[in-house]
């Protein structure tokens, strides 16, 4: 029998009614028995259809500066605390970034993000990224995003003026679990970076990684924190353990738990964009097309920062087969 609590909450959300005691309700949903997972997916899909219709987006990223990061994030292949053999290089030249952006635009991406390793960039590095953004906007209709670590409001305004409309900065996990993941900076610094970007007028993309060892309660905590911050887009990643990191021995989430994570974030953040990003191939396996059924309306296409993604043509064919429409294309 279909879960009555799920039906009631979904009806409230679809009607636009205020959902009181959201944290407690999301916690109840997250701890439902496995027999109700499919019920949850159906409800999440209804909410996605209500607020996002059949339009989805595809984003792509470039690793514009790789390795030697001063932070000790337990999952990260680019941390200087880990020995992963990851390729290290300084910030790419402007034209290199532009060429890669044009390539991904031609492959079908609608959003493009310039990503760098490290806690923060120098003024000259930010200037190079801004110059690249200006040229990319001249050559393509890509929606541009930057993910360059900690920024202040002044930095954010420079990005906005160059044509970058979105800033990406993951919180990675809940505040109550963060100390298990990173000890070299405080969670409040990440919150501040998100708030600075929003204050400057940038749209904000912020999410986390599922499967780091956090509990379902802590996943709900993260979903609610992002709701309170009113971020525009929520990227959901799944841990794909990298040898040489502190997380190398952690097991993958099961496909059903991965889908359940997406669905729970959709119920807590019904009107926001939800993108499924790194680790989807490893966690979802043959269930990758189900990510939209679970409530997502965005997909990262192409390769990730230090790992390979699925062939972009396969993802575009998947969208077509599902009757979903790539935004702006």
Assess if residue 11 is contained within a domain: no
Assess if residue 2 is contained within a domain: no
Assess if residue 8 is contained within a domain: no
Assess if residue 6 is contained within a domain: no
Structure tokens at 19: 């959902």
Lowest mean pLDDT among 39-43, 54-58, 282-286: 54-58
Structure tokens at 281: 């191939």
Q: Quick one: average pLDDT of 216-230?
A: 96
Alpha-carbon distance of 39 to 35, in angstroms, equals: 8
Assess if residue 268 is contained within a domain: yes
Q: How many domains does the chain have?
A: 1
Other beta carbons less than 10 A from residue 122's beta carbon: 10
Using pLDDT thresholds of 50, 70 and 90, give the confidence band for residue 123: very high
Q: Write down the pLDDT at residue 1.
A: 63
43-68, pLDDT tens digit by residue? Answer: 999 999 999 988 888 888 888 998 88
- Whole-model pTM above 0.95? no
Alpha-carbon distance of 181 to 212, in angstroms, equals: 8
- Side-chain-side CA neighbours of 282 within 13 Å: the count stands at 19
Range of the domain at 213: 22-326
Assess if residue 1 is contained within a domain: no
Assess if residue 5 is contained within a domain: no
- 179: CATH: 3.20.20.70
Assess if residue 226 is contained within a domain: yes
């Amino acid at each position: 029998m279909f879960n009555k609590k799920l039906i009631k909450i979904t009806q409230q959300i679809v009607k636009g009614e205020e959902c009181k005691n959201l944290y407690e309700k999301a916690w109840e949903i997250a701890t439902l028995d496995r027999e109700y997972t499919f019920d949850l997916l159906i409800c999440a899909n209804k909410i996605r259809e209500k607020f996002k219709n059949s339009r989805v987006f595809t984003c792509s990223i470039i690793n514009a500066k790789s390795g030697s990061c001063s932070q000790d994030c337990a999952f990260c292949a680019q941390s200087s605390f880990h020995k992963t053999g990851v390729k290290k290089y300084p910030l790419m030249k402007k034209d290199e970034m532009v060429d890669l952006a044009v390539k991904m635009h031609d492959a079908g991406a609608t959003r493009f993000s310039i990503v760098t390793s490290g806690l923060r960039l120098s003024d000259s590095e930010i200037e190079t990224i801004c110059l690249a953004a200006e040229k990319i906007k001249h050559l393509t209709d890509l929606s541009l995003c930057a993910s360059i670590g900690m920024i202040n409001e002044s930095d954010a305004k420079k990005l906005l003026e160059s044509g970058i409309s979105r800033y990406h900065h993951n919180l990675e996990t809940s505040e109550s679990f963060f100390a298990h993941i990173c000890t070299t900076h405080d969670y409040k610094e990440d919150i501040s970076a998100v708030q600075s970007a929003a204050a400057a007028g940038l749209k904000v993309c912020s999410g986390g990684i599922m499967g780091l060892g956090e509990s379902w309660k802590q996943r709900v905590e993260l979903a609610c924190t992002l709701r309170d911050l009113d971020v525009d887009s929520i990227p959901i990643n799944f841990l794909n353990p990298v040898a040489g990191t502190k997380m190398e021995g952690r097991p993958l989430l099961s496909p059903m738990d991965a889908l359940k994570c997406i669905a729970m974030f959709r119920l807590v953040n019904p009107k926001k964009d939800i993108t499924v990003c790194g680790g989807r191939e490893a966690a979802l396996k043959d269930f990758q097309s189900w990510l939209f059924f679970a409530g997502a309306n965005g997909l990262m296409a192409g390769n990730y920062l230090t790992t390979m993604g699925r062939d972009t043509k396969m993802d575009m064919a998947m969208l077509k087969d599902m009757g979903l429409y790539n935004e702006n294309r």
